[in-house]
Amino acid sequence: MKVSKVAQSVEASVTMAVTARAKELKVQGVDVVSFGAGEPDFDTPEFIKQAAKQALDQGATKYSPAAGNMQLRQEISRKLKEENGLEYKPSQIAVTCGAKHAVYEAIHAVVDPGDEVLIPAPFWVSYPEMVNLVGGIPKTIPTGAETDYKLTPELLRGAITARSCLLILNYPNNPGGFCYSPDELAALGEVIAETDLAVISDEIYEKLIYGDMVFRSFAAVCPDLYERVITINGLSKAYSMTGWRVGYTAAPDDVAQAISRMQSHMTSGPATFCQLASIEALAKGQAEIEKMHAEFSKRAEHIYKRLNALDGVMCPRPTGAFYAFPNVASHYGRLKVAGSVAFCQRLLEEARVACVPGVGFGCDENIRMSFATSMEQIDKGIDRLAEFLNTAG
């Protein structure tokens, strides 16, 4: 059968090969330490599960409105106002099948074929592919350790062309583990204000920030840009609800309506009982968020210190999300590996440690190490990494 050109152009994830091999080894009974997780290692809090069970018992088994349950949209509107200082009416909010589809619909709503989309590297693997799917042109903007892997006003200014229509910001960042401060966001906002760029601000890791870092929503820091910003968020990471598939977009009226229209033909609203449980999560989840946050915060500091104590490894301090993103490239020559994929393959085969190659995120000198795993596993894995770096030739 003919496969469409667009479908053919979608790249298989290079990161998946290492993850699949790690799983295979685990099934064979090999003791692999995995730093691959893209989801919290905690269970969904009990009161949220209870709310879903109750919703099912009360018959919440039918379609919800295409853009989501109205009570949930009201709760999201309250959350955005009280926690983020953002005014979005429920009609400006669409509840989506995970934040992933929220990002896809947001891109679809504003990008025409041939439009250029600016994506600072490191980036979440799905952004460029989503842009490709709608016929846009992803244009990645390289960054480096000098800026803690963050986009700066200068880098942004240098990347904008007449065809640029959208910038995708993600902070706290997957895989970079950094967060933009309000001042850094304001400085980027000044450059954006000189242009017609729209902005997608993917704030899915908002609740996971560490040390002195302060999280502020982009649209709240740059209110003059409000009409050009689509805010993305969801329940997956903050409430450990990755399998429930509840995310959302908050956008100016015209874009919000476009997203709702598209969603009515694509997925309709997410599972009704998941949406009802999400109302409970947003309304009463603060204590649970704090418990998980306290644990992640300890791990962030620990993994940072341990990684930087290794010879030839440079890791920026994780100030958000649950990822460390060390640069290990000083070892590539000695290990005779061409880049992060071969490095991760050898690390897995020889030291039984699974990490995600940075090349899929636009940074081939780095590897992504998720600390959504216990302290014991973190220590065991870093001991093995140290041994590998010291002895492998």
Ligand X SMILES: Cc1ncc(COP(=O)(O)O)c(C=O)c1O
Q: Which residues bind ligand X (CB under 6 A)?
A: 38, 98-100, 103, 124, 170, 174, 202, 204, 234, 236, 242, 247
Supply the minimum distance, in Å, between the C-beta of residue 350 and ligand X: 28
Cα separation, 280 vs 312, in Å, equals 47
Cα separation, 198 vs 326, in Å, equals 31
Supply the minimum distance, in Å, between the C-beta of residue 247 and ligand X: 4
Supply the minimum distance, in Å, between the C-beta of residue 242 and ligand X: 5
Residue whose CB is less far from ligand X, 38 or 381: 38
Q: What are phi and psi of 92, to 5 degrees?
A: -95, 5
Residue whose CB is less far from ligand X, 204 or 307: 204
Supply the minimum distance, in Å, between the C-beta of residue 219 and ligand X: 17
Q: What is the CA radius of gyration of the chain?
A: 21
Residue whose CB is less far from ligand X, 120 or 234: 234
With 0-12 / 13-18 / 19 or more C-beta atoms within 10 angstroms meaning exposed / middle / buried, residue 322 is buried
Residue whose CB is less far from ligand X, 96 or 389: 96
User: How many alpha carbons lie under 13 Å from residue 118 in its C-beta half-sphere?
Assistant: 28
Supply the minimum distance, in Å, between the C-beta of residue 32 and ligand X: 21
Residue whose CB is less far from ligand X, 355 or 385: 355
Supply the minimum distance, in Å, between the C-beta of residue 256 and ligand X: 19
Residue whose CB is less far from ligand X, 17 or 386: 17
Q: Give Dmax over CA atoms of the chain in angstroms.
A: 63
Supply the minimum distance, in Å, between the C-beta of residue 386 and ligand X: 28
Residue whose CB is less far from ligand X, 236 or 373: 236
Cis peptide before 316 (omega within 30 of 0): no
Contacts of 203 (CB under 8 A, 6+ apart): 171, 215, 217, 218, 231, 232, 233
225 alpha carbon, distance to own chain's centre: 22
Residue whose CB is less far from ligand X, 15 or 92: 15
Cα separation, 87 vs 77, in Å, equals 7
Closest CA to 76 of 109, 105, 102: 102
3 state SS of 81: helix
Supply the minimum distance, in Å, between the C-beta of residue 236 and ligand X: 3
Residue whose CB is less far from ligand X, 98 or 189: 98
Cα separation, 145 vs 123, in Å, equals 15
**Burial track 117-126 (b if 16+ CB lie within 10 A, e otherwise):** bbbbbbbbbe
Cα separation, 36 vs 354, in Å, equals 6
CB-based closest residue to ligand X: 98
The label of the residue with tokens 């999560």 reads 281
Supply the minimum distance, in Å, between the C-beta of residue 388 and ligand X: 27
